[in-house]
Chain A
Amino acid sequence: MSLVDVNNLSIIYGENSVVSNVSMQLKRGEITTLIGPNGAGKTTLIKAILGLITPSSGQISRSESLQIGYMPQKLHIDPTFPLTVERFLKTAAFSSTQDRLQALESVGAEKLLKQSVHSLSGGETQRVMLARSLLRKPDLLVLDEPAQGVDVNGQIELYNLIAQIRDRYGCAVLMISHDLHLVMAATDQVVCLNHHICCSGHPAQVSNDPSYIELFGIPGAENLAFYSHHHNHQHDRRGEIINAKTDISEIPGENHSSHCGGDH
């Protein structure tokens, strides 16, 4: 049974359809990675799943008493706010000293307990935020670009850590990432979003699929930059599909309709 069931979700701001007709499931023990270009509606989608935004249409059903651990994209704490890592962890939920140490240990940050949150590096901040969300014993972890502001080696470590946490706590993970090459190994489901779902699937199953390579580049390629985004259709500024090639079967290697959830 899925923890969260998103059904035909659309979010419209004024005349802009930011998210349209998205359906997806989040299951316990599964890591789902949301990828897509800037402004594709990724953050909007997870905010709807978190209940921060009311959808314009469609349903989001969450399993009963679902505990969500959320890690926002950035934490802006004013430097005038005196806060140690320990005090920050205390704001998450009722926890004992041991709980807090354990949470920090599970993200490899136990040395930071007494430090000021203002003195943490990008990677340390992400680890501390992750530890904080673990204190809430989440069924679902939602991470908005967890690797932002972390160097490449740190990113690989961080994604491994997220996979370890999933194994250890058995929670579902939903994250936004730009670094598909790095998250591939530790992802069960990839959803490529550009307002609608362009394609989605299991990376291990589809990584040899020519259309997958076409979409995301060759797995393990040295190229760590953004994957190039070649679809059989293009989007205009508002995300509307233009120049859609209706007969995609004619184009070899461009057929990704088998795992396509998009509305083409």
Chain B
Amino acid sequence: MPDFLLFALVGGLGVAMIAGPLGAFVVWRRMAYFGDTLAHSALLGVAMGVLFDLNVNLAVVSCCLLLALILVSLQRQHLVATDTLLGIMAHSSLSLGLVAIALLDDVRVDLMDYLFGDLLAISPTDLYWIYGGGCIVLLLIWRLWNSLLAITINEELAQVEGVPVARVRLTLMLLIGVVIAIAMKVVGILLITSLLIIPAASARRLANSPEQMAIIASLLGMIAVMLGLYASYQFDTPAGPSVVVAALIQFLLLYSLPFRRTV
């Protein structure tokens, strides 16, 4: 197996593993649009990274986290409905990113790589980012698991029972921001949310508990990465979209199987 394919496989599997549990929360808490908005802002992070000569990964993580914080504070002021707010932020940050990159005339940034991912160009440094960041994310989810479930069931009930709701919710948003920054390399800005929600939605068919759903989502995501990469290598299709198509096929298969879920 050529090196670039090995790196792509290891990187893709890592991202799919982290995306599983977070994707489950995105589905349960209906945060798909929120994820999309953060993803769109990642391009602004890329532009900032190139402009100020920072590490692009670091710039993207910071940009996602900053946007998550801005969203939370704007949401609290109830200026406009949350989905309107998300729509404004998503497309304006994407446009700002595109404009900023166009203005950087002395650097060439391959937009397609950022928009749709460049899985086959994953470097060993990217692997450190994926696995280092991923370990922190998974550890935090594991530590906060019960609180995260409690706020997903009912935030007021959780508050009465002593869960620091605002803090846990903010942590979840920041974790999603980190994962989006990490996953950008694999499927690109425009497709990241699909890697979060499609495996989680497919996992719902098979899961009888929240824990099962998180783990099955990870496994399905990892299988999708393998299938997508294989297809990409065999048929010379773009890697990121191939992974998403593989995830979609899983979803369609699972939902067309004639069995009733019990829980």
Contact = CB atoms under 8 A, between A and B. Distances in A.
Interface string B200-226: 010010011110110000000000000
Contacts of A76: 154
Interface in B150-196: 150, 152-154, 156-157, 159-161
A116 interface: yes
B208 A91 contact: no
A77 B156 contact: no
Contact of A116 (B157, B210, B213, B263): B263
B27 A88 contact: no
B156 A81 contact: no
B28 interface: yes
Contact of B160 (A50, A82, A91, A116): A50
B159 A52 contact: yes
B212 A91 contact: no
B204 A82 contact: yes
A27 interface: no
A212 interface: no
Nearest to B152: A81
Contacts of A84: 208-209, 263
A130 to B, nearest CB: 13
Interface residues of A, number: 24
A70 B263 contact: no
Interface string B132-150: 0000000000000010011
A82 B157 contact: no
A80 B201 contact: yes
A231 interface: no
Contact of B157 (A70, A78, A87, A118): A70
A93 to B, nearest CB: 8
Contacts of B263: 82-84, 116, 118
Given A52-B159, A82-B213, A75 B153 contact: yes
A118 B152 CA distance: 15
A114 B152 CA distance: 20
A10 B30 CA distance: 35
Residue among A47, A68, A87, A93 with max Cβ neighbours from chain B (10 Å)? A87
Contact of B262 (A52, A75, A116): A116
Contacts of B204: 80, 82
A91 B153 contact: yes
A28 interface: no
A132 B154 CA distance: 13
Interface string A73-99: 001111011111001100111000000
B29 interface: yes
A58 interface: no
A67 to B, nearest CB: 10
Interface string A33-58: 00000000000000100111000000
B28 A80 contact: yes
A70 B156 contact: yes
Contacts of A92: 161
A47 B157 CA distance: 11
A87 B153 contact: no
A70 B158 CA distance: 10
Given A72-B156, A91-B146, A91-B153, A78 B28 contact: yes
A188 B4 CA distance: 75
Given A68-B160, A84-B263, A116-B262, A77 B209 contact: no
Interface string B102-118: 00000000000000000
Contact of B27 (A52, A72, A80): A80
Interface of B: 27-30, 146, 149-150, 152-154, 156-157, 159-161, 201, 204, 207-210, 212-213, 261-263
Interface of A: 47, 50-52, 68, 70, 72, 75-78, 80-84, 87-88, 91-93, 116, 118, 136
10 contacts: A47-B156, A75-B153, A78-B28, A80-B204, A81-B28, A81-B153, A82-B207, A84-B208, A84-B209, A93-B161
